[in-house]
Amino acid sequence: MSFFNTKIENLRSVGTQRATLLQKELNIFTYGDLIQRYPFRYLDRTQFYNIVDLHDDLPYVQVKGVLRGREVVGEGPKQRMVAKVADASGELELVWFKGVKWLQSMVKNHQEYIVFGKPSLFNGKPQMAHPELEEVTETKPGQSYLQPVYNTTEKLKNYHRLDSKALARLTADLLRIALPHIHETLSPALIARYGLMSKADALQQIHFPQSTELLQAARFRLKFEELFYVQLKLLRQKTQRKVELAGQIFREVPTLVDFYKNHLTFDLTGAQKRVIHDIYKDFCSGRQMNRLLQGDVGSGKTIVAFISMLMAADNGAQSCLMAPTEILADQHYTGLKVYADQLGISIGKLTGSSRTAERRVLHEQLRNGEMHMLVGTHALLEDVVQFRNLGLTIMDEQHRFGVAQRSRLWQKNPHIIPHVLVMTATPIPRTLAMTLYGDLDVSVIDELPAGRKPIVTVHRYDSNRLKVFQFLRDQIALGRQVYIVYPLIEESETLDYKDLTDGYESIQRAFPEFQISIVHGRMKAEEKDYEMQRFVKRETQIMVATTVIEVGVNVPNASVMVIESAERFGLSQLHQLRGRVGRGADQSYCILMTGYKLSKDSRTRLETMVRTNNGFEIADIDLKLRGPGDLMGTQQSGVLDLLIADLAKDGRILSESRAAAQELLNEDPELALPQNQNIRRHIESLSSTAINWSRIS
Ligand code: ADP
Ligand code: MG
């Protein structure tokens, strides 16, 4: 057993009671857990603001001053503690609304404190709410001026004296005995090439940095290592799969040639052709394809999917295309059926609302091979759905599915694993794609079909509604159609539903001369379909909807997208919604409606939308605003539990570490060379890693 698996209670100065607390409150069970809880910031004991210079726009800062008076004011829940500190330049008021009792016993008048917090001006005077206080003590010579600050909980701090300082002491104790046990986990070649600090030094410096430079070096080393191992595992998996998993070979393409010659009504873009070529190469390789197709909204992924399905059909294999919503499945089915009929290929549809009798027939046709192509929703994952010879599975809007579903599709052919193509329109920043889909090959459609005009996006306040409505009337008079979308956030579904129905009524009142469709999540599939079809057939001019419209819907004649309460949508969602227009030859518009009161982040989102149509740029900004975990939504959470690296900020380190991992595998695929023994040993020890890839494959 390794030293780092030692139970935390064995550490001198921990003991059973504290061990239980550390486990319960902070998930610290072992030496390894403690040493890997890196400080979340550092107090630089040499840098202080003068109180007179404090203002509203500063981030967290520290000042040094003497406490001058403290008092508890108010009663009951309004009770708070107020204190003043003064330095040579002025006075700062401090307020706490919580932990008043404890503070009363801790905070000493006339004591000199380091005060850390976010300043604000209240009636022109500087104030800090809930600052952290630390008594000024003499700095011993040789002691670092960068003091680590650890996350802890109110409970541990207030009742058990396990505050940040106490954690620092425990960590220091541990480091003293741990140093001889810390083995280098990277190879000498990598260390030399990237100028990395040793593992032991990095752990020492990350907790107790001797200088800003050494802290930087330690952080770089630990981030590099973390990302390197994530990438190494992914790339090994990818390589192994390529070696081990055979794929059906689809070399013949007669129907595809017929399709190109006689039925395809437009020219494929260069990017589409390139991607189709990538896929064809995979199909001829004899290995299973695992490919991600990234392409912005409207870049034409569906036709690429269909062409791939044709290649399968041309070689006697069945294929399926899975979409996240019924609306989208219907639309794919309707669109592709036109082509399939022309080519004499059978295509079926399976969704949650398919009737039992229909299903029975379909199941049989899939089993006996009469049905060549299947389009559907999650319903096609069900065990009763069995194929005679499934050769290709495609997931559209992959980000809408859980990671696990990718692998369920694999099991649909007992003899040979089908090829897999996953498509995503939410352009994912490269860093995130390299991690989430790091085990896939990636193709990108980075070009829109010719003749598309960039969508004009504007931000309008609710007070301008009449003008906006007039604009809609003018557009409809020109023969166009309009979407009006209301937010849907699941936590307050009832409220949103009310917003939507209120909105629908007011739109009806405002546009008595037009026909209006409505689509939302509470409707039955047939009702939704009926309303969608009315809109597609131009029987209605306006479509009022919730975000069920967001994904993939394609009505080229609709050229205006109005998004109500646009401040409530995330950036990528706004971009997806906007992608519903701009699909025909007409100039299209996206109008973002909001009230006057907007948070800083909302403003950034709106400004970004107005400024650019580029999905990749938008994805990067989204990642910075929201952080990677949130961005991918709950389905993907847990996949990205990184200890120190941050995918939103460490893109460069990620690329370097991935390149390093790839190079290593090229030179030493089995990690058998003696110079790589550190790496081999470490990857074997990473049995329970932060990233649980077993869920993916
Ligand atoms: P997405 O990539 O968002 O799924 P779609 O596949 O729905 O985009 O394509 C959007 C629209 O563009 C569809 O109407 C499709 O028929 C059309 N389209 C696709 N490729 C081309 C092309 N090369 N030239 C012209 N129109 C195209
Ligand atoms: Mg699509």
Q: How far is the CA of 506 from the centre of ligand 1 (A)?
A: 34
Q: Note whether 561 and 580 are within 8 A (CB).
A: yes
Q: Note whether 331 and 553 are within 8 A (CB).
A: yes
Ion ligand 2 residue ranges (Cβ < 5 Å) = 552
Q: Which atom of ligand 1 is nearest to the CA of 304?
A: 6
Residue 662 lies in a domain: no
Domain containing residue 79: CATH number: 2.40.50.140
Together in a domain, 508 and 600: yes
What confidence score (pLDDT) does residue 121 get? 87
Between the CA of residue 259 and those of 156, 222, 272, 304, 642, what are the distances in Å?
A: 69, 53, 15, 13, 47
Nearest CA to ligand 1 atom 26: 449
Together in a domain, 170 and 127: no
Residue 340 has pLDDT above 90, yes or no: yes
Nearest by Cα to 425 from 520, 294, 305: 294
**CA 697 distance to own-chain centroid:** 20
Average pLDDT over residues 561-572: 92
Q: Give residue-wise pLDDT tens across range 381-399.
A: 888 899 999 999 999 977 6
Q: What is the dihedral of CA 428, 550, 309, 257, to 10 degrees?
A: -100
Together in a domain, 576 and 464: yes
Residue 573 has pLDDT above 90, yes or no: no
What confidence score (pLDDT) does residue 400 get? 64
3-state secondary structure of 220: helix
Together in a domain, 379 and 262: yes
Domain limits for position 565: 456-612
Q: How far is the CA of 580 from the centre of ligand 2 (A)?
A: 10
| Residue where a domain terminates, one of 144, 169, 199 | 144
Ligand nearest to the CA of 583: 1
| Residue where a domain terminates, one of 612, 628, 658 | 612
Residue 247 lies in a domain: no
Q: Give residue-wise pLDDT tens across range 480-515.
A: 999 999 887 554 566 666 778 888 898 999 999 999
Residue 55 lies in a domain: yes
Residue type at 62 in one-letter notation: Q
Which of 24-38, 147-161, 355-369 shows the lowest per-residue confidence on average (mean pLDDT)?
147-161
What confidence score (pLDDT) does residue 697 get? 28
Nearest by Cα to 590 from 600, 598, 582: 582
Nearest CA to ligand 1 atom 9: 300
Together in a domain, 129 and 85: yes
Residue 187 lies in a domain: no
Residue 407 binned pLDDT confidence (cut-offs 50, 70, 90): low
Together in a domain, 158 and 124: no
Q: What percent of the chain has pLDDT over 70?
A: 92
φ/ψ of 111, rounded to 5, equals -80, 145
Together in a domain, 402 and 521: no
Residue 249 lies in a domain: no
Ligand nearest to the CA of 551: 2
Domain containing residue 543: CATH number: 3.40.50.300
Together in a domain, 398 and 461: no
3-state secondary structure of 92: strand
Q: Which atom of ligand 1 is nearest to the CA of 396?
A: 4
Together in a domain, 34 and 159: yes
Together in a domain, 512 and 533: yes
Together in a domain, 403 and 269: yes
What confidence score (pLDDT) does residue 583 get? 84
3-state secondary structure of 140: coil
Q: Give residue-wise pLDDT tens across range 345-366.
A: 999 999 988 899 999 999 999 9
Residue holding tokens 């504007």?
458
Q: pLDDT: is 51 or 134 the higher one?
A: 51
Nearest by Cα to 640 from 321, 631, 180: 631
Q: Note whether 550 and 483 are within 8 A (CB).
A: no
Q: Token digits for 346? A: 């059978």
Q: Note whether 236 and 255 are within 8 A (CB).
A: no
Average pLDDT value over all residues in the chain: 87
Residue 487 lies in a domain: yes
Average pLDDT over residues 281-290: 95
What confidence score (pLDDT) does residue 460 get? 97
Together in a domain, 317 and 386: yes
Q: Give residue-wise pLDDT tens across range 76-99.
A: 888 899 999 999 999 999 999 888
| Residue where a domain terminates, one of 401, 424, 447 | 424
Q: Give residue-wise pLDDT tens across range 177-222.
A: 999 999 999 999 999 999 999 999 999 999 999 988 999 999 999 9
Task: Give the pairing type, strands 132-135 and 516-519.
Answer: unpaired
What confidence score (pLDDT) does residue 693 get? 33
Tally of domains within the chain? 4
What confidence score (pLDDT) does residue 636 get? 46
Domain containing residue 26: CATH number: 1.10.150
Between the CA of residue 52 and those of 19, 92, 96, 124, 462, what are the distances in Å?
A: 44, 9, 21, 11, 41
Residue 344 has pLDDT above 60, yes or no: yes
Q: What percent of the chain has pLDDT over 90?
A: 54
Residue 251 has pLDDT above 50, yes or no: yes
Pocket of ligand 1 (CB under 6 A): 266-269, 272, 295, 297-303, 425, 449, 552, 554, 556, 583
Question: What is the per-residue burial (b if ≥16 Cβ within 10 Å, else e) of 621-657?
Answer: bbbebbebbebbeeebeebbebebbbbbebbebbebb
Residue 638 lies in a domain: no
Residue 543 lies in a domain: yes
What confidence score (pLDDT) does residue 688 get? 45
Nearest by Cα to 313 from 338, 286, 351, 347: 347
What confidence score (pLDDT) does residue 635 get? 40
Q: pLDDT: is 12 or 36 the higher one?
A: 36
What confidence score (pLDDT) does residue 405 get? 67
Residue holding tokens 């205006």?
560
